[in-house]
């Protein structure tokens, strides 16, 4: 059949099972938007308030559903406004396809109105990107973009399409996606010798620990991680991005490891003789001082991306391949046992060094808010976060039972991420209550997306931890810079509850601990209205414990 380039884009989206896209129109994307109008009964377009919000919403949708998120923008500033969201998705291995309009081919390279080399700009932060200047390549490029976004370690792909290509006519032949396009046999080639050595290392270890990262969840290997832990009686910690890959209430769970990990996790890794890292990239926030990380341990690293294995730490047992398949193959050789002495030591640390804070009748403690959110949602909410202290409290005090329940910017640390991601997650998971735990500093960056949530009647909750400061930077200034609080006070008198009401959402101010439950319960009862709860917290509350910069995990201290 003969179709315009814009209609080819829409047909390719439908081929891939896309039913929701996020975006903002503009001159060079106008023909794509005309095609979207005609396809409005098959593809829902969510008009965000800003292109960055569209990219974060596509990201949140992808993380919450496991599908590829899609965002659309016009050329120039529209495309560059996607960059932060694309980089966020790249750092956290999120499958996303960003489609941008571009000036016509005859105007390329002439500093035309709203022309920018978006493929050049995004080359370092995408798995791959394309500029389409020939309509005969459009359909295959779109299909390949989705295959690459999904395949192996997922990530974002950008497709930049010249305006004249969207208007041109071409013969279009439908094609069903082939699963083999993105599940490649090249990821299943771990040798039997490597497997045997890894099994022997696990069976011979007396103080093993498991580090479960986001890769375990992306691979759908949560059940295999649980089996390994229970079968071989191995305690488990997660990275920030791995929250939910192991049940937060399980007796073998030690909590998060690293800079703001539990003392139990950090002491266990320091004392271990085998670290089994599953789908983790060993970031600096995990290992801290390289020479001080698990000094007595052999390192086993199971990951689909060979570039990550040995990048930050020397690895004794590298297993590069599909995590789920590798763990399944290993099951037959791993001996079931009870690590009584080691687990007893872990439990002693748990009892001696639990996460703790002092409850107050006078001021609202942020840890208490997270605990009440957990109890009142029965631990079943999807939690998104902005970036800062509130992000760490959300990781520490809400017990996650599945991987797609905690959605946060870990690698890039993007302030302003959470609200867009919350919108995308709620649209992707309408069966769940989605809560964005936010700090006032992060929230004000993209709060305009409240208008989007109101327009689409999304019953999201924004739990705003308002300490009138850039809390995490302020905490560092106090601890490491002799309390020189440079530009971290943002007490600007903003009435966030009134602001929410002005957008058409529901705003609630909470100033005392006894008001917390009623506010949360009221917000949970809403079915088609966003609710912002403005919790007044103290600017001196700190995330604890902490591993000071440059210190070893064993040097973890309370704040």
DSSP symbols for 27-69 = GGGHHHHHHHHHTTTTSEEEE-SSHHHHHHHHHHHHHHHSSPE
Q: What is the separation of C-alpha 498 from the centre of its chain, rounded to a whole number of angstroms?
A: 30
d(C-alpha 554, C-alpha 297), whole Å: 14
What is the domain partition of the chain in residue ranges?
Answer: 2-181, 185-352, 366-536
Q: Report whether 309 contacts 241 (CB < 8 A).
A: no
Q: How many residues does the chain have?
A: 559
Helices 192-204/323-331 angle, 10° precision: 60
Cis check for the bond before 527: say yes or no (omega within 30 of 0): no
d(C-alpha 375, C-alpha 84), whole Å: 34
Report pLDDT digits (tens) over 164-216.
Answer: 999 999 999 999 887 654 444 455 579 999 999 999 999 999 999 999 999 99
In the block, which residue shows the tokens 């909750």?
461
**Active-site position among 51, 151, 224, 371:** 51
Confidence (pLDDT) at 180: 57
d(C-alpha 54, C-alpha 46), whole Å: 8
Confidence (pLDDT) at 276: 98
Nearest Cα neighbor of 408 from 101, 137, 94 is 94
Q: Let me know if 15 is a catalytic residue.
A: no
Tell me whether the CATH fold assigned to 2-181 matches the one assigned to 185-352: yes
Q: Report whether 321 contacts 189 (CB < 8 A).
A: yes
d(C-alpha 354, C-alpha 262), whole Å: 7
Q: Let me know if 114 is a catalytic residue.
A: yes
Confidence (pLDDT) at 189: 75
**Active-site position among 114, 197, 230, 325:** 114
Let me know the angle formed at the C-alpha of 399 by 394 and 403, rounded to the nearest 5 degrees.
90
In the chain, which residues have pLDDT < 70?
179-188
From first CA to last CA, the distance across the chain in angstroms is 66
Q: Percent of the chain scored above 90 by pLDDT?
A: 97
Confidence (pLDDT) at 274: 98
Record the tokens describing residue 130, joined without a space: 């394309």
Confidence (pLDDT) at 187: 53
**Active-site position among 142, 243, 415, 472:** 472
**Active-site position among 22, 142, 163, 443:** 163
Q: Let me know if 186 is a catalytic residue.
A: no
Q: What are the residues whose beta carbons fall under 8 Å from the beta carbon of 481, sequence distance 6 or more?
A: none
> Domain 366-536: which CATH class?
alpha beta
CATH for 2-181 (3.40.50.970, 3.40.47.10, 2.130.10.10, 3.40.50.800)? 3.40.50.970
d(C-alpha 76, C-alpha 220), whole Å: 38
Whether pTM exceeds 0.85: yes
> Domain 185-352: which CATH class?
alpha beta
Q: Report whether 160 contacts 132 (CB < 8 A).
A: yes
Confidence (pLDDT) at 185: 47
């Amino acid at each position: 059949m003969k179709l315009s380039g814009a209609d080819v884009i829409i047909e390719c989206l439908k081929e891939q099972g896309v039913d929701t896209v996020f975006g903002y129109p503009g001159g060079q994307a106008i023909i794509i938007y005309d095609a979207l109008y005609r396809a409005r009964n098959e593809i829902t377009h969510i008009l965000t308030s800003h292109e960055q919000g569209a990219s974060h919403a596509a990201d949140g949708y992808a993380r919450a559903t496991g599908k590829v998120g899609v965002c659309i923008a016009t050329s120039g500033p529209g495309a560059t406004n996607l960059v932060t969201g694309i980089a966020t998705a790249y750092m956290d291995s999120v499958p996303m396809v960003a489609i941008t309009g571009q000036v016509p081919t005859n105007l390329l390279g002439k500093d035309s109105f709203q022309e920018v080399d978006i493929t050049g700009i995004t080359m370092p932060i995408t798995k791959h990107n394309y500029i389409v200047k020939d309509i005969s390549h459009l359909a295959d490029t779109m299909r390949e973009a989705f295959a690459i976004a999904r395949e192996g370690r997922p990530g974002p792909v950008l497709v930049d399409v010249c305006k004249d290509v969207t208007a041109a006519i071409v013969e279009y032949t439908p094609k069903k996606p082939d699963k083999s396009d993105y599940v490649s046999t090249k990821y299943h080639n771990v040798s039997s010798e490597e497997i045997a050595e890894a099994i022997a290392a696990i069976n011979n270890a007396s103080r093993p620990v498991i580090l479960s990262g986001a890769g375990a969840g992306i691979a759908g290997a949560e059940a295999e991680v649980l089996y390994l832990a229970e079968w071989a009686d191995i305690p488990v910690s997660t990275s920030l991005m791995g929250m939910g890959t192991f049940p937060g209430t399980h007796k073998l769970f030690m909590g998060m490891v690293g800079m703001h990990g539990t003392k139990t996790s950090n002491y266990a890794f320091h004392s271990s003789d085998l670290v089994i890292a599953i789908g983790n990239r060993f970031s600096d926030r995990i290992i801290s001082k390289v020479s001080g990380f698990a000094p007595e341990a052999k390192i086993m690293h199971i990951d689909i991306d060979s570039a990550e294995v040995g990048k930050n730490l020397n690895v004794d047992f590298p297993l590069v391949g599909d995590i789920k398949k590798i763990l399944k193959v290993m099951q037959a050789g791993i001996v079931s046992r009870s690590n009584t002495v080691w687990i007893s030591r872990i439990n002693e640390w748990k009892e001696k060094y639990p996460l703790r804070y002092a409850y107050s009748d006078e001021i609202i403690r942020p840890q208490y808010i997270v605990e009440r959110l957990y109890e009142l949602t029965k631990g079943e909410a999807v939690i998104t976060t902005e970036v800062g202290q509130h992000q760490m409290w959300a990781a520490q005090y809400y017990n996650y039972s599945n991987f797609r329940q905690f959605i946060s910017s870990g690698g890039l640390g993007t302030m302003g991420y959470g609200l867009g991601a919350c919108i995308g997650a709620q649209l992707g998971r309408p069966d769940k209550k989605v809560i964005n735990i936010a700090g006032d500093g992060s929230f004000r960056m993209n709060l305009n997306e409240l208008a989007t949530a109101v327009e689409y009647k999304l019953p999201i909750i924004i739990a705003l931890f308002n300490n009138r400061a850039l809390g995490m930077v302020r905490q560092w200034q106090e601890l490491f810079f002799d309390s020189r609080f440079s530009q971290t006070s943002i007490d600007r008198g903003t009435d966030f509850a009134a602001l929410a009401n002005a957008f058409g959402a529901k705003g609630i101010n909470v100033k005392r601990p006894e008001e917390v439950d009623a506010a949360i319960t009221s917000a949970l009862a809403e079915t088609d209205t966003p609710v912002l709860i403005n919790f007044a917290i103290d600017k001196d509350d700190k995330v604890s414990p902490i591993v000071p910069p440059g210190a070893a995990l064993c040097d973890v201290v309370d704040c």
